[in-house]
């Protein structure tokens, strides 16, 4: 049996979508109003899914308090109420939800307290979400 534990976090941040390798016109075409020079904000909904055994001692897949600590220290403290464009991770990549999701996945993949990180999903708006999944079968 596969067992999963999922947890949601709110994350508010601003960004501007602009790629240095695209022309101004291509940037406007690719990102629309998200390319406006002053940026804009989102209330992201971050979902983390951990897969593992239900440990007999605790009856849990992962200790939620420890998981919260990891997410707070590695992700929320870094990105919440921040301008994503100024983060070192986004100096050379556009802070789209896709790239934010990949960044969060990479920050967490070796840090979950037990089990393994299965997916990171970020909802940017009611209609947009992106998901990264662990590529290894185990
Ligand atoms: Ni946006």
Sketch out the chain's domains with CATH numbers: 3-133 (3.30.479.10)
DSSP 31: H
116-123 sheet: strands from edge to edge: 82-83, 3-15, 40-52, 116-123, 129-133
Task: Name the 3-class secondary structure at 129.
Answer: strand
Rounded CA-CA distance 50/48 in Å is 7
* Ligand 1 center to 5 CA (angstroms): 28
* Residues with active-site annotation: 34, 81, 124
Strand blocks (E) in the chain: 3-15, 40-52, 82-83, 116-123, 129-133
The reported pTM is 0.94
Distance 125 CA to ligand 1 centre (A): 9
Enter the DSSP assignment of 53.
-
Residue the block writes with tokens 């947009």: 128
Instruction: Per-residue pLDDT tens, the chain, 138 aa: give them.
Output: 889 999 999 999 999 999 999 999 999 999 999 999 999 999 999 999 999 999 999 999 999 999 999 999 999 999 999 999 999 999 999 999 999 999 999 999 999 998 899 999 999 999 999 999 998 876
């Amino acid at each position: 049996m596969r067992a999963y534990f999922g947890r949601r976090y709110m994350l508010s941040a601003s960004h501007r979508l602009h790629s240095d390798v695209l022309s101004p016109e291509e940037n406007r075409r690719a990102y629309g109003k998200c390319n406006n020079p002053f940026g804009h904000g989102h209330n992201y909904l971050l979902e983390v899914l951990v897969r593992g055994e239900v440990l007999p001692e605790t009856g849990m897949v992962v200790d939620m308090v420890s998981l919260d600590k990891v997410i707070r220290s590695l992700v929320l403290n870094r990105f919440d109420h921040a301008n994503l464009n100024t983060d070192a991770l986004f100096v050379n990549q556009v802070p789209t939800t896709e790239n934010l999701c990949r960044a969060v996945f990479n920050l967490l993949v070796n840090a979950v307290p037990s089990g393994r990180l299965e997916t990171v999903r970020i909802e940017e708006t009611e209609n947009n979400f992106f998901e990264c999944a662990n590529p290894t079968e185990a």
